[in-house]
Structure 1
């Protein structure tokens, strides 16, 4: 990989490529080692599981000191923290603090300020950067003006996994956020997320004013992710129009407590069709469970953004980062030449 693509994100995190792999529950694996800058998702797991994953990350990254800076982030679901007994929520946050992670990512909560405040009051302020994911201009203004986020992640409707079903397209969302925040006294780093597939996509977001991109689906197509071979094959053959926003998979898994308006984008299959035609939840759950056990593409869950149609092979994560970096550089050079004409 050649020289650093210099942006506010690369400067903030000390990385070469303006790229983040977001928190994705159940798929981290050795992506921690090879994916530029990686977020671990806490999901529904207790503090003990997070502590174990952070210990594994420290081992994989060969950080000898138990208190040395751990150059990864941890993602928290605000609404899930809200539902927990306060001591359990604090245990999760404290686990991340004790591991000295570089960043904390907050999303999907009506009172994220409560948890951001807890972090700032109880963690050394120089330790962890605050990332806040947003799905609207209004949420972004709150993240900038009230939460004083270090990084604001604009997640468009194209994004795979969970997000707001009412979010605008990424380019519209990002431009609206940047326009509103231009005169703010607090200037965070802004990232773009949703439907991004290659280095040219990253370059286009940088051109629009983002400091970097967030890409999840592309990194599911790596041997380091915990996706199965069958799930990766489903991604390889999928077209962009095969993705759908739905709560079908949450009903199938019994994870339906997401805030109003939040759903997930994944590959449409028979689980989705059963849900849409009103099949009983018991039947959907039974078929989903069996399909997951047998790795039946017609039944199991594969989260995917709209960029999936441009992804056609499995590559090691470090090679994906290298390819994305080089594609981004090439596109930026092309754009620069056009401006000079």
Structure 2
């Protein structure tokens, strides 16, 4: 399916399937496996030294092979928070010539794009070696700003169904994606759109392609792979989640986990995780204007004890649909087969 969409053509993919850079899950082993199987894998920078990221990127390349496309992703607020270490990491990314794509999220992306281009010029890298910029957005306003800037190569549209962090004011993927695709098509320079949020199989991927997306990102599905860094205890929690059981949702969105952990996420973001005690306890204290210090100490103890009835287990609305670990390459192949079957039945034609 190399010419199915603008995404598969641009990156030489067998299937327009993307592994997003998930902190604590998307390491070199997982990204490399996804890319080797024909998708596009992104390594997530886990806050730490540049040397650690270089090792993960080298592992991804070793597994993916010499010609497969790979990417790296960063949370921009984390780069800012780490000062010189963040700058060192970003310089390492700029100099990584075998990583084509850089996924940016949650921060002053225009400033960092400008910094990237400056670092590439200093390194003597020509235009052909410049990184493609992928920007994750969660609103029409963010998408409009990105499209008008002409600085972005791929736009990732994240709906509220997604696990992990996103805009508090985000909306469900279908509505958001349709609006942004319409905006993109009216642009003088339309770019590939990648849909994210609740996608779990090739049929979901076929649906977003039918809306006009050029590809789809699957987070929760790849959390549950053998190559994922996601801890086994958390995988078990996700596998045993029951969306809709007894009228309850398996996941919810809240700022509680970040507030209790002391994570300094920008105030416009919250996170979707498995339902547990933290949000209700946090809400009760907020209502009473009580001090959070004791609850924060309890949360820190729960982290040390891996008590996931209290600690966050970030996952999307697909939690519980995958009951066991799978090999990431098998996931890519299965998604491709399901997508081909769905497209054949619907007489799909590329409109991206």
Scaled by the length of structure 2, what TM-score is found? Answer: 0.86
Let me know the Cα RMSD of the aligned residues: 2.2
Alignment partners' CA distance in 2, 1:175 and 1:80: 31
Partner of residue 312, structure 2: 301
Partner of residue 9, structure 1: 7
Does the residue aligned with 2:278 lie in a helix, a strand or coil? helix
- Deviations along 1:4-32, one digit per CA (max 9) or x if unpaired, are 47111111111111011111112124202
Q: Cα–Cα, structure 1 residues 55 and 210, in superposed 2: closer, same or farther, change >3 Å?
A: same
- Deviations along 1:201-250, one digit per CA (max 9) or x if unpaired, are 10000000000001101111111111222211111121331111112221
The question of whether the paired residues in 2 share the 8 Å contact of 1:199 and 1:323 is answered with: yes
Structure 2 unaligned blocks of 5 or more? 244-248
Residue 266 (structure 2) pairs with residue 259 (structure 1): yes
The question of whether the paired residues in 1 share the 8 Å contact of 2:225 and 2:326 is answered with: yes
Partner of residue 207, structure 1: 210
Structure 1 unaligned blocks of 5 or more? 64-68
Does the residue aligned with 2:193 lie in a helix, a strand or coil? strand
Query: Out of 66, 72, 75, which is 1:74 matched to?
Result: 72
Residue 240 (structure 2) pairs with residue 246 (structure 1): no
Partner of residue 116, structure 1: 113
Partner of residue 246, structure 2: none
Q: Cα–Cα, structure 1 residues 326 and 4, in superposed 2: closer, same or farther, change >3 Å?
A: farther
Equivalences for residues 1-341 of structure 1 within 5 A: 3-4=1-2, 6-29=4-27, 30-35=29-34, 36-61=39-64, 63=66, 71-85=69-83, 87-100=84-97, 101-109=99-107, 111-123=108-120, 124=125, 125-127=127-129, 128-240=131-243, 241-255=249-263, 257-278=264-285, 281-336=292-347
Alignment partners' CA distance in 2, 1:71 and 1:179: 28
- Deviations along 1:175-195, one digit per CA (max 9) or x if unpaired, are 111112222222211010111
The question of whether the paired residues in 2 share the 8 Å contact of 1:5 and 1:17 is answered with: no
Alignment partners' CA distance in 2, 1:61 and 1:13: 13
What is the CA-CA distance between 1:308 and the residue it aligns to?
A: 2.0
Q: Cα–Cα, structure 1 residues 126 and 268, in superposed 2: closer, same or farther, change >3 Å?
A: same
Scaled by the length of structure 1, what TM-score is found? Answer: 0.88
What is the CA-CA distance between 1:313 and the residue it aligns to?
A: 2.8
Alignment partners' CA distance in 1, 2:293 and 2:134: 38
Alignment partners' CA distance in 2, 1:292 and 1:81: 24
